[in-house]
C-alpha cells in the first residue's frame, strides 16, 4: 500500500502549524458499511479484518477486472528443493521467477493464493525514483552500486510484463508530481536533484499541467516519463505463472508452520506436507507469522486502504487526467490517482480508526477533493465499485529489509510506496547473489531483523492524528 516515512515528517508539521485544535476527520459523520461482497469472496470476520488489512483479496479492485488467474494446489507431500521461497507476493514471485530462470530448483509456497497480501492491494503506482537518499550514506560505497542498479532497472515491472507476456495493465504512462505552488515544486525538485541527468524529467508550467491533468488546481509539476501504473495483483500472479513455466514448483493454501534445522538443510512443515531446502527466503512483508519471530517484530504495521470507481462516464474521460499519467501531489500525496485500462479511477489513503470498513465514508473524502479539482464531477455522478484495506510494513529507515536470519535463512520485505518497482528489483539482486552463492556481491548491506519498540506506534500516530489533520488542512486549502 502506498505510504512512506519521509511523508510523516511533513504531516507532523502540517498538523501542528495548520490545524491544531480542529476536529479530527476520523470522527463524526454518518455511519456506513462495506460495499456488497464480490460473488467469490468469503465474508470478512468483521471490523477487525478491515482494521488489520486482512479482508479477502477478492474485495480489491485489482482482482475485480474479470481476469482469471490460476488456483495453485496445496502441498500434500514431502519434497526437497534447493531454495524455498515463502510468500508469493511481488517479492516472492519475482524471486522464484529469477531463480527458476537461472536453473535453480525453487519451490514457492503461499499461505493463501499469490498476491493475497499488499501485492494485491496497493495503489498501482510505478515510481521511477527514490525520494529519501539519506539512508544510502550508510552503505559501504554510499549507495553508488545500488543506485546504479536502480537506474538500470527502474522500468523493471514494464520489462517483466513484456518479456513474460503478463497482461497486467503495465503502462509507462509517466509519473506526474503536481504542486499548487511554485515554492512547493522547487522544494520537491531540490529534494530529488539526484535524478537530474540520470533520467528524463520534465518541469511543467500552468498550461502544460492544465493540458495533462484537465484541471487548473495544480499549475506546477514535475513529470517522470519512465513511471506509470500496473495492476499489482495480476503482475504478481503473472510472475508466478512464468516461474512455474520454467520449472518452479508452486503451492497455494500452504502455510509454513515451523522452521527447523535438518542437518545442513532446513525443514519447513505445512499442514499437509514438508519441504527440505538448502536455503529459505521469507517474503511475507507485512503479513509475517510467528514461524520467524524476528520478522514479525521487525516493522511497524500500518493499515491502509484503496478504492476504485466504476468506469468513468465518457464525458469525464477527457476531463480527469486526459494525459493518462499517474498522479501524485506535492508536498503530500493525500489523493494518489491512477486511471486504469478499464477507465476506473483508483486512489488510496489511510483509513479511519473508528470506521475502517465504511466504504462510502472514505469515498466521500476523496469525492470532496475530486469536486474541487475537477468541478465537472459535481454534475456527473461517479460510482464507487470496490473498497479494500491492506497492510504496510514500515521501518525506521526508508529502505527494504534484507535480513540474514540464520545461516541459509533470509528475509526480503518492507517496500512501502516503491513496492511495485523495489520488490522485483530487490528479488532480482538477491537471486543473482544466491545463484552465485556470494551474498557479498549484493549492492546493499544485509541486516539483522531487530525488533522495533512499540510496533503500534506509527499506526496510532498516523491514523489518529497525522492523516486527519492533513486532510483538514487540505480542505482548508492550506496544502
Is pLDDT above 60 for 23? no
Q: Is the pLDDT of residue 45 over 70?
A: no
CATH superfamily of 5-475: FAD/NAD(P)-binding domain (3.50.50.60)
Per-residue model confidence as pLDDT tens digits over 323-357: 999 999 999 899 999 999 999 999 999 999 889 99
Alpha-carbon span 298 to 410, nearest angstrom? 13
Distance CA 403, CA 401 (A): 6
Q: What integer best gives the mean pLDDT of the chain?
A: 91
C-alpha cell of 1? 500500500
Query: Can you give the pLDDT at residue 41?
Result: 80
Q: What is the mean pLDDT of residues 181-186?
A: 96
Cell numbers at residue 394, please? Answer: 514500515
**Distance set, CA 305 to CA 50, 248, 316, 357 (Å):** 9, 32, 24, 10
Residues 6+ apart with CB under 8 A from 351: 50, 51, 303, 304, 305, 362, 389, 463
Average pLDDT over residues 138-158: 96
State the Cα–Cα distance between residues 187 and 193, nearest whole angstrom.
10
Kindly state the average pLDDT of the residues 142-160. 97
How wide is the angle at C-alpha 219 spanned by C-alphas 213 and 225, nearest 5°?
55
Percent composition of the chain: helix, strand, coil (DSSP 3-state, to 5): 35, 20, 45
What's this model's pTM, rounded to 2 decimal places?
0.92
Query: If we measure between CA atoms, which residue out of 150, 205, 204, 132 comes closest to residue 174?
Result: 204
Taking 80 as the threshold, does the pLDDT of residue 471 lie above it? no
* For range 95-108, the mean pLDDT: 98
For 277-305, the pLDDT digits (tens) are 999 999 999 999 999 999 999 999 999 99
pLDDT of residue 11: 39
Amino acid at each position: 500500500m502506498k505510504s512512506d516515512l519521509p511523508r510523516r515528517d511533513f504531516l507532523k508539521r502540517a498538523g501542528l502549524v495548520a490545524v491544531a485544535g480542529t476536529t479530527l476527520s476520523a470522527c463524526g459523520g454518518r455511519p456506513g458499511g462495506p460495499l456488497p461482497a464480490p460473488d467469490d469472496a468469503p465474508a470478512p470476520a468483521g471490523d477487525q479484518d478491515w482494521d488489520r488489512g486482512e479482508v479477502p483479496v477478492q474485495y480489491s479492485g485489482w482482482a475485480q477486472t474479470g481476469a482469471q488467474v490460476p488456483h495453485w494446489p496445496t502441498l500434500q507431500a514431502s519434497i526437497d528443493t534447493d531454495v524455498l521461497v515463502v510468500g508469493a507476493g511481488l517479492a516472492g514471485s519475482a524471486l522464484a521467477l529469477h531463480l527458476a530462470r537461472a536453473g535453480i530448483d525453487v519451490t514457492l509456497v503461499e499461505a493463501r493464493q499469490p498476491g493475497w497480501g499488499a501485492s494485491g492491494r496497493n495503489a498501482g503506482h510505478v515510481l521511477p525514483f527514490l525520494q529519501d537518499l539519506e539512508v544510502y550514506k550508510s552503505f559501504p560505497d554510499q549507495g553508488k552500486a545500488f543506485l546504479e542498479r536502480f537506474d538500470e532497472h527502474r522500468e523493471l515491472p514494464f520489462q517483466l510484463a513484456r518479456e513474460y507476456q503478463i497482461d497486467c495493465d503495465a503502462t509507462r504512462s509517466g509519473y506526474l508530481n503536481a504542486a499548487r505552488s511554485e515554492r512547493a515544486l522547487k522544494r520537491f525538485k531540490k529534494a530529488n536533484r539526484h535524478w537530474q541527468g540520470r533520467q528524463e524529467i520534465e518541469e511543467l508550467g500552468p498550461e502544460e499541467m492544465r493540458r495533462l491533468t484537465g484541471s487548473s488546481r495544480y499549475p506546477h509539476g514535475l513529470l517522470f516519463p519512465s513511471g506509470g501504473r500496473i495492476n499489482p495483483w495480476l503482475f504478481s500472479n503473472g510472475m508466478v505463472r512464468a516461474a512455474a513455466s520454467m520449472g518452479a514448483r508452486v503451492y497455494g493454501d500452504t502455510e509454513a508452520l515451523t522452521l527447523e534445522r535438518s542437518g545442513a538443510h532446513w525443514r519447513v512443515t505445512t499442514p499437509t506436507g514438508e519441504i527440505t531446502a538448502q536455503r529459505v527466503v521469507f517474503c511475507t512483508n507485512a503479513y509475517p507469522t510467528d514461524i520467524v519471530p524476528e520478522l514479525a517484530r521487525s516493522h511497524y504495521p500500518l493499515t491502509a486502504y484503496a478504492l476504485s470507481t466504476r468506469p468513468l462516464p465518457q464525458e469525464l474521460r477527457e476531463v480527469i487526467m486526459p494525459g493518462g499519467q499517474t498522479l501524485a501531489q506535492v508536498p503530500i500525496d493525500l489523493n494518489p490517482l491512477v486511471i486504469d485500462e478499464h477507465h476506473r479511477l483508483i486512489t488510496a489513503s489511510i483509513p479511519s480508526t473508528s470506521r475502517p470498513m465504511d466504504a462510502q465514508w472514505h469515498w466521500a473524502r476523496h469525492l470532496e477533493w475530486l469536486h474541487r479539482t475537477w468541478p465537472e464531477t459535481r454534475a456527473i455522478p461517479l460510482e464507487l465499485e470496490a473498497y479494500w484495506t491492506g497492510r504496510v510494513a514500515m521501518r525506521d529507515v526508508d529502505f527494504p529489509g534484507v535480513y540474514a536470519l540464520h545461516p541459509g535463512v533470509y528475509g526480503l520485505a518492507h517496500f512501502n510506496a516503491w513496492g511495485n518497482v523495489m520488490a522485483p528489483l530487490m528479488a532480482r539482486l538477491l537471486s543473482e547473489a544466491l545463484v552465485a552463492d556470494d551474498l557479498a556481491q549484493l549492492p546493499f548491506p544485509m541486516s539483522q531483523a531487530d525488533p522495533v519498540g512499540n510496533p503500534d506506534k506509527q499506526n496510532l500516530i498516523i491514523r489518529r492524528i497525522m492523516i486527519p489533520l492533513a486532510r483538514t488542512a487540505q480542505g482548508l486549502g492550506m496544502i
